């Protein structure tokens, strides 16, 4: 039997125990059985790790992401074991000895958690920068953002002990005209007690409400339920009728009648327009994903075979049906100004998909990272999507309950982001991470089947939050094409989905097959360009400052000599709060002053004079650098020049100097300091598409961000990057991502100690201001801004 060991996260130091590893394991390429690499397989309590020391490759597989382990027929090389994961990795390991293979197979199966308490989130030790802090999500705040409660809608606390419905949140929002008796009566008439409640209120007064199917059978009726629907209808002054959308195929809804469930009888509910928007059930969706994944595993298919297999999976057909239903709801709200009540069977799968997607189309706020979080918290977490059952978090959940409902939602959002590339603040990596962590159980957010489960498990006290992880790494998840000013980013989206509109999501389902992925990802390339430009502009600001300081000395010296130039005395002296005033560290550091002959900045007096004029004009626009979707002449002015060549002409001016008019000869930087500054910034950055693996051997897949080290310019993965390093060559308070080797070399440099002492003192003040800003930014303020 394998003993297992605990790895140290975010480090390379893996303590290897002899009985937890198998050597000479062959990892075979899934498309080409002749291609393989030989390495060692390690088993830890949390991961299965394959390391090929020669080829420098590592594959880490989190146990909670493993979906199946299969023993394949023995070959001449040993016993193959195929490990498939919920994030679409399929790895075939051939173990030389049959006994080792049997042991590994048994242990991997044993490691699957058989209770909530054994889930990864209760063991996970996050890196130091992440704390067990949960940014509070308050349902009341999200409803206040929508202007609720108001004259038509009120908060109802009848579910505070989960008496009405144990899969709903404690507080629900219902029409003001309703009574408790009406609500309790309706909840008894609805499957699982999931009565109609408000989920989205549009500025035009039309609303989306959600519930489960009525227990109507062939003829049963419920007066309270009928009254509740009439109250919902009356909240909207613009329409005398409302829609009830049943998101099941009609035949399924009819079949449910035989079981005493079904759908609303139009004869009993007045002024109702009933409509089916057919989306298949969880079992058909599970089979469809299975067929899609089989298509992805086809070895050397012909075009026909591939297209037929993709078609037979019906995956894109199902995505289209989900999007069509959501678009129908959005049109009913925006164009017809009618209230819509949505349900399926229990109202936690198709209903969650349709309500969240239609809200996303209707409200631009939900297309921001913060807003999207609110959408997930509200529609998926608060209203009880069964994450643990649908994702199969523990072995106790029924395998027939598993279904890719959340994945379909994520993919539908991705398809929309392909139609409207500038409308979403988040990128593809964000969506992939969200999907993966709904399965990984690394964070406590998606554990359990409803709010009550998470309260019982005390996840907020015991685990880390996925949203905190996103917040701490938010730049990794931003879409560089997002343009908040564009009409698509600020208006209701009502696309028409044709079959030709939908794409196969290569970087989700083939993310580990680098040979199949595009060689260059435009979004990543843009992010890299924005970062590179930021580093160069910031460095240029510092160089400008140095040149001016030296020039001032030159001028001071000249005052002793009659001179004809006078530009140096006509300076602008605007200062920016963000600028690092590094005169302090230079004090007492003046043992080696620069002589006048070393001061030649290479700029003529006229150029310097021009620089100062540009400074005074462009100071504002350069203080905060924003990612820009397109380049224009004004962009060139603001430093986003089309000339990204590190050897190209650095744009003149991005700031004015705090001390340029009164420079003290004691404030002059030393040669060592200037050398440190110049050497701390890479002018050339390696392009993203070159390396497939990080230097640490970890493969880059589409869910992993590649970072350029700002000092050496090479590509690294997240675990090889050190954050929080303030580079001497930058003229700002912000820290930059630096590889661990560069971080060591910078820290060991003699001038760095002085520099970091200064930055620390400046940063403390800066962070204090930032924290104060964060704390004071209440959700309400943000809501007001977003409106
Ligand atoms: Zn580096
Ligand atoms: Zn790495």
Residues 411 and 318 reside in one and the same domain? yes
Q: How far apart are CA 751 and CA 595, in angstroms?
A: 20
**Per-residue confidence (pLDDT) for residue 581, from 0 to 100:** 41
Ligand nearest to the backbone CA of 714: 1
Q: Is 63 helix (H, G, I), strand (E, B) or coil?
A: helix
- Residue 128 counted as domain residue: no
Q: How far apart are CA 414 and CA 435, in angstroms?
A: 12
pLDDT tens-digit map of 247-303: 999 999 999 999 999 999 989 999 999 999 999 999 999 999 999 999 999 999 999
Question: Does 121 reside within a domain?
Answer: no
Contact between residue 159 and residue 165 where contact means Cβ atoms under 8 Å apart: yes
- Report d(CA 196, CA 342) in Å as an integer: 9
Ligand at shortest distance from the CA of 722: 1
Q: Is 610 a residue whose pLDDT tops 60?
A: no
Residues 405 and 372 in one domain: yes
- pLDDT, tens digit (0-9, with 9 covering 90-100), for 555-600: 776 665 444 433 333 333 333 333 444 443 333 333 333 333 333 3
* Residue 236 pLDDT greater than 60, yes or no: yes
Q: Is the pLDDT of residue 622 over 70?
A: no
CA of residue 535 to ligand 2 center, whole Å: 21
The residue with tokens 């990204």 is 644
Taken in order 224, 229, 232, 238, the sign of the CA dihedral is negative
* Ligand 1 geometric centre to CA of 738 (Å): 5
Task: For residue 244, give Cα distances in angstroms to 205, 212, 247, 754.
Answer: 17, 11, 10, 68
Q: What is the pLDDT of residue 554?
A: 78
DSSP output for 571-594 = ------TTS--THHHHTT--SSPP
Regarding whether 504 and 391 lie in a shared domain, the answer is yes
Give the residue with greater pLDDT, 523 vs 605: 523
Residue 772 has pLDDT above 80, yes or no: no
Confidence of residue 673 (pLDDT cuts 50, 70, 90): confident
Q: Which residues pair with 708 in a beta bridge?
A: 715
pLDDT at 395: 93
Each residue's pLDDT tens digit, 25-61: 999 988 888 889 999 999 988 899 999 888 778 899 9
Decide: pTM greater than 0.85.
no
Domain boundary among 513, 537, 567: 513
- Which of 470-484, 589-603, 687-701, 730-744 has the weakest average pLDDT? 589-603
Do 584 and 506 lie in one domain? The reply is: no
pLDDT value for 604: 39
- 355 annotated active-site: no
Going from the C-alpha of 734 to that of each of 90, 545, 579, 640, 727, the distances in angstroms are: 40, 17, 10, 19, 9
Q: Is the pLDDT of residue 203 over 60?
A: yes
| Reported confidence tier of residue 230, pLDDT bands at 50, 70, 90 | very high
Residues 221 and 325 in one domain: yes
In this structure, are 611 and 742 located in the same domain? yes
Task: Please report, for residues 38, 477, 521, 652, 721, the alpha-carbon distance to residue 779 in angstroms, rounded to integers and kept in the order given.
Answer: 53, 21, 35, 40, 32
Tell me the mean pLDDT in the region 673-686. 89
DSSP for residue 638? T
Q: What's the CA-to-centroid distance between 262 and ligand 1, angstroms?
A: 63
Domain assignment of residue 123, yes or no: no
How many angstroms separate the alpha carbon of residue 8 from the centre of ligand 2?
A: 15
Q: Which two tokens stand for residue 507?
A: 């970087």
pLDDT band at 315 (very low <50, low <70, confident <90, very high): very high
Q: Is the pLDDT of residue 668 over 70?
A: no
Q: Which residues are annotated as a binding site?
A: 281-282, 344-350
Instruction: Give residue 698 CA to ligand 2 midpoint distance, Å.
Output: 6
CA of 686 to the centre of ligand 1 (A): 11
Strand 57-62's sheet: what is its strand order? 57-62, 47-52, 36-43, 21-28, 90-95, 79-85, 66-71
Q: Do residues 506 and 601 share a domain?
A: no
Looking at the structure, tell me whether residues 352 and 448 fall in a common domain: yes
Residue 150: inside a domain: yes
The predicted pLDDT at position 136 comes to 83
Q: Last residue of some domain: 447, 481, 513? A: 513
Q: What is the pLDDT of residues 399-442, one digit of tens each?
A: 999 999 999 999 999 999 999 999 999 999 999 999 999 999 99
| Domain closes at, from 513, 541, 562 | 513
- Please determine, for residue 4, whether its predicted confidence score (pLDDT) is greater than 50: no
Q: Give the model confidence (pLDDT) of 144-188 as tens digits.
A: 999 999 999 999 999 999 999 999 999 999 999 999 999 999 999
Catalytic residue among 231, 344, 717, 720: 344
Domain enclosing residue 169, as ranges = 139-513
Number of domains in the chain: 3
What percentage of the chain carries pLDDT values higher than 70?
Answer: 78
> Mean pLDDT over all residues of the chain?
82
Q: Any idea which residue has 């009406």 for tokens?
A: 182
340 pLDDT above the threshold of 70: yes
- What tens digit of pLDDT does each residue of 77-114 get? 999 999 999 999 999 999 999 999 999 999 898 888 99
| pLDDT above 80 (res 215) | yes
Ligand nearest to the CA of 725: 1
Q: Looking at residues 226-243, what average pLDDT do you find?
A: 97
DSSP characters over 210-262: E---B--TTT---HHHHHHHHHHHHT-TT-S-EEEEE-S-HHHHHHHHHTT--
- Same domain for 546 and 497: no
Going by their DSSP bridges, the two strands 21-28 and 36-43 should be labelled as antiparallel
User: What confidence score (pLDDT) does residue 574 get?
Assistant: 36
Residue at 78 is within a domain: yes
pLDDT > 70? residue 658: no
Q: What is the pLDDT of residue 209?
A: 98
Higher pLDDT, 657 or 340: 340
CA of 722 to the centre of ligand 2 (A): 11
Q: Which ligand is nearest to the CA of 680?
A: 1
The answer to whether the beta carbons of residues 85 and 61 sit under 8 Å apart is: yes
Choose among 547, 611, 612: nearest CA to 574: 612
Nearest to 723 by CA among 121, 125, 10, 5: 10
Q: In this structure, what token pair is assigned to residue 69?
A: 């382990």
pLDDT at 30: 85
The annotated binding site for substrate is made up of 281-282, 344-350
133: in domain: no
Are 498 and 536 contained in the same domain? no
Which residues lie across from 426 on neighbouring strands? Answer: 478
Residue 740 lies in a domain: yes
Write down the pLDDT at residue 703. 72
Distance 429 CA to ligand 1 centre (A): 24
One domain for residues 504 and 535: no
| Cβ pair 527, 685 in contact under 8 A | no
The strand pairing partners of 22, in sequence order, are: 41
137 versus 123: the higher-pLDDT residue is 123
Give whole-number Cα distances, 500 to 193, 306, 353, 417, 551, in Å: 40, 17, 22, 15, 63
| 439 within domain boundaries | yes
202 and 317 together in one domain: yes
Which ligand is the nearest neighbour of the Cα of 704? 2
639 neighbors 537 (Cβ within 8 angstroms):
yes
């Amino acid at each position: 039997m394998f003993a297992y060991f605990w790895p140290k996260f975010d480090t390379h130091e893996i303590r290897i125990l002899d009985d937890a590893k198998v050597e000479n394991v062959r990892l075979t390429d899934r498309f080409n059985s002749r291609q393989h690499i030989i390495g060692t397989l390690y088993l830890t309590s949390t991961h299965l790790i394959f390391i090929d020391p020669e080829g420098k490759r590592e594959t880490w597989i989190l146990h909670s992401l493993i979906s199946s382990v299969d023993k394949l027929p023995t070959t001449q090389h040993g016993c193959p074991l195929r490990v498939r994961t919920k994030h679409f990795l399929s790895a075939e390991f051939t173990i030389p000895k049959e006994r080792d293979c049997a042991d590994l197979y048994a242990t991997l199966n044993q490691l699957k958690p058989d209770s909530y308490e054994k889930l990864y989130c209760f063991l996970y030790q996050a890196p130091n920068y992440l704390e067990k802090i949960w940014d509070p999500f308050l349902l009341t705040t999200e409803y206040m953002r929508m202007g609720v409660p108001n004259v038509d809608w009120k908060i109802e606390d009848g579910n505070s002990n989960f008496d009405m419905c144990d899969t709903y949140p404690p507080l629900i929002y219902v029409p003001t005209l309703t009574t408790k008796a009406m609500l309790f009566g309706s909840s008894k008439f609805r499957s699982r007690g999931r009565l109609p409640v408000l989920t989205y209120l549009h500025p035009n007064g039309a609303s989306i409400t959600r519930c489960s199917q009525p227990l109507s059978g062939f003829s049963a009726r419920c007066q309270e339920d009928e009254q509740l629907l009439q109250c919902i209808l009356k909240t909207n002054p613009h329409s005398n009728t409302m829609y009830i959308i049943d998101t099941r195929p009609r035949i399924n809804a009819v079949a449910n009648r035989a079981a005493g469930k079904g759908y609303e009888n139009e004869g009993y509910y007045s002024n109702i327009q009933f409509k089916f928007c057919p989306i298949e059930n969880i079992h058909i969706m599970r089979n469809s994903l299975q067929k899609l994944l089989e298509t992805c595993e086809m070895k050397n298919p012909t075009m026909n075979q591939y297209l037929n297999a993709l078609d037979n999976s019906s995956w894109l057909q199902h995505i289209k049906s989900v999007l069509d239903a959501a678009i129908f709801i959005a049109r009913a709200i925006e164009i017809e100004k009618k209230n819509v009540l949505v349900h399926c069977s229990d109202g936690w799968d198709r209903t969650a998909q349709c309500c969240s997607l239609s809200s996303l189309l209707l409200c631009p706020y939900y297309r921001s990272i913060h807003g999207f979080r609110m959408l997930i918290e509200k529609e998926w977490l608060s209203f009880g999507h069964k994450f643990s059952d649908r994702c199969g978090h523990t072995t106790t959940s029924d395998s027939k309950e598993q279904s890719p409902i959340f994945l379909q939602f994520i993919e539908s959002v991705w398809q929309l982001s392909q139609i409207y590339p500038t409308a979403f603040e988040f990128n593809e990596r964000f969506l992939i991470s969200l999907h993966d962590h709904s399965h990984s159980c690394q964070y406590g957010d998606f554990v359990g089947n409803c709010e009550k489960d998470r309260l019982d498990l005390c996840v907020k006290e015991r685990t880390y939050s996925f949203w905190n992880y996103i917040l701490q790494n938010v730049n990794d998840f931003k879409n560089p094409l997002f343009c908040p000013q564009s009409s698509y980013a600020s208006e209701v989206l009502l696309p028409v989905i044709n079959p030709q509109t939908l794409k196969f999501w290569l970087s989700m389902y083939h993310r580990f097959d680098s040979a199949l992925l595009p060689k260059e990802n435009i979004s990543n390339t843009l992010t890299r360009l924005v970062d590179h430009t930021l580093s160069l502009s910031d460095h240029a600001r510092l160089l400008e400052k140095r040149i001016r300081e030296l020039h001032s000395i030159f001028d001071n010296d000249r005052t002793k000599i009659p001179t004809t130039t006078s530009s140096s005395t006509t300076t602008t002296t605007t200062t920016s709060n963000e600028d690092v005033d590094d005169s302090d560290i230079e004090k007492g550091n003046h043992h080696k002053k620069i002589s006048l002959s070393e001061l030649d900045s290479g700029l003529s007096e006229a150029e310097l004079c021009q620089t100062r004029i540009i400074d005074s004009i462009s100071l504002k626009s350069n203080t905060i650098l924003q990612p820009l979707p397109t380049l224009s002449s004004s962009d060139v002015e603001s430093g986003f020049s089309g000339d990204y060549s590190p050897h190209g002409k650095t744009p003149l001016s991005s700031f004015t100097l705090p001390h340029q008019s009164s420079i003290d000869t004691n404030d002059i930087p030393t040669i060592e300091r200037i050398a440190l500054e110049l050497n701390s910034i890479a002018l050339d950055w390696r392009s993203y598409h070159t390396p497939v693996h990080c230097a640490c051997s970890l493969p880059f897949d589409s869910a992993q961000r590649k970072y350029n080290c700002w000092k050496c310019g090479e590509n690294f993965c997240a675990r090889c990057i050190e954050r929080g390093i303030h580079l001497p060559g930058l003229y700002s308070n912000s820290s930059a991502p630096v590889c661990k080797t560069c971080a060591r070399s910078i820290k060991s440099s003699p001038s760095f100690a002085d520099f970091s002492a200064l930055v620390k003192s400046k940063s403390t003040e800066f962070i204090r201001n930032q924290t104060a800003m964060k704390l004071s930014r209440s959700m309400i303020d943000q809501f007001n801004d977003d409106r």
